[in-house]
Amino acid sequence: MNNNSRQESFFMKTLNSEKIKYDNMYKYKPEYGSANHGRMSYDIISSFKPKSVLDVGCGNGEFCKWVYDNLCKDVYGVDFASSPSLEGPTWIKSFAHDIPIDDNSIDIITTFDMMEHLVEENVVSVLKEFKRIAIKNCIFNISYFPSSKNGIFGENLHPTIKSEDWWLKKIKKVFEIDDDKIKIHYKPIINTEKKYSYIVLYL
């Protein structure tokens, strides 16, 4: 087995291991994935008046449903573990690094509280997939802290806990953009000193 094959094998083993973890979360902790982390970005995404939206790591699909009901009908939700049942959007069960959607076909890609769930080795491949698909904008909401809920074996669900600067460097390098193509919106989290940050890319 050559080096590329070994890397690909390790990559798929990591993905499959992560999928099993989240399959178990949805099976044994059905309340998991019920939060709509995109709700505080409604004003941001509405200002773009998108004709198509792809939400990666869509969970129960509430954000996609809101977009479908209020902004546009060409809406897709991608998740490798959850299976939303809400009517309207198109639901796709897929890994985030290999989404069955055409190049340059979606106005806005959103991802809320998902990127930190990736293992660090898989971050770049997912960002490259977003770059391949997005036409106008990407909106990232990334947690920089350990998960508030643990896995069924007590494990932290955020394997990639990094600073905002770390994430921005990764994003800028993959998308080949400078600071003038990025705007960060900060939203306060109720009853805490922490804030949600929404990183918006202008492509």
Query: How much of the chain is helix, strand and coil, in % rounded to 5?
Result: 40, 25, 40
Is the model more confident about 14 or about 110? 110
pLDDT band at 33 (very low <50, low <70, confident <90, very high): low
pTM above 0.85, yes or no: yes
Read off the pLDDT of residues 152-183 as tens digits, 9 standing for 90 and up. 666 778 889 999 999 999 999 999 999 999 99
Quote the CA–CA distance of 113 and 53 in Å, as a whole number. Answer: 17
pLDDT band at 148 (very low <50, low <70, confident <90, very high): confident
Whether 31 shows a pLDDT value over 50: the answer reads yes
CA distances in angstroms from 192 to 121, 141, 188, listed in the order given:
31, 17, 8
The radius of gyration of the chain from alpha carbons, rounded to an integer in Å, stands at 16
Q: What mean pLDDT is reported for the chain?
A: 87
Whether 2 shows a pLDDT value over 60: the answer reads no
Read off the pLDDT of residues 41-69 as tens digits, 9 standing for 90 and up. 999 999 999 999 999 999 999 999 999 99
Quote the CA–CA distance of 125 and 96 in Å, as a whole number. Answer: 9
Task: Tell me what pLDDT residue 203 has.
Answer: 96
Task: Tell me what pLDDT residue 94 has.
Answer: 93
CB 127 within 8 A of CB 171: yes
Task: Tell me what pLDDT residue 156 has.
Answer: 75
Read off the pLDDT of residues 75-128 as tens digits, 9 standing for 90 and up. 999 998 888 889 999 999 999 999 999 999 999 999 999 999 999 999 999 999
Task: Tell me what pLDDT residue 58 has.
Answer: 94
Angle value at C-alpha 115, between 86 and 137, nearest 5 degrees = 75
**Structural domains in the chain, sorted by start:** 3-202 (3.40.50.150)
Task: Tell me what pLDDT residue 10 has.
Answer: 44
Nearest CA among 191, 190, 167, 186 for reference residue 44? 186
Q: How many CB atoms lie within 10 A of CB 10?
A: 11
